[in-house]
Amino acid sequence: MSLEKLVSLVSRLFFLGAFVSLGLVMIEKIANATGYTILQGKGARLLEIAVALLVFVIALELREMKEALKGGRA
């Protein structure tokens, strides 16, 4: 497996993980509004993890763009 394919796979997994985490946090907020809890108060921590994953995705995408510009391909 080449480095480009590995970076693409990791980027997609992190992106998916971030949106799943965001979805869980939104479900937790809805549950809290109705008086229930799912994550037992760990929603903010899960949101922090989602943001961290998205920061890594942005960094990986910027790296790919830099390599594309350096190599002359678009």
DSSP 8-state symbol, 38: S
Q: Is residue 19 part of a domain?
A: yes
What's the rounded Cα separation, in Å, for the pair 64 and 68?
Answer: 6
Distance CA 14, CA 57 (A): 7
Range of the domain at 62: 3-68
- For residue 73, being part of any structural domain is answered with no
**43 in any annotated domain:** yes
Handedness of CA 54, 60, 61, 62 (dihedral sign): positive
Residue 53 lies in a domain: yes
Q: How confident is the model at residue 73 (pLDDT cuts 50, 70, 90)?
A: low
Task: Retrieve residue 67's tokens.
Answer: 């390599």
pLDDT at 39: 86
Is the pLDDT confidence value at 72 over 80? no
Q: Is residue 74, in this structure, part of any structural domain at all?
A: no
User: Rounded distance, CA 37 to CA 4, Å?
Assistant: 41
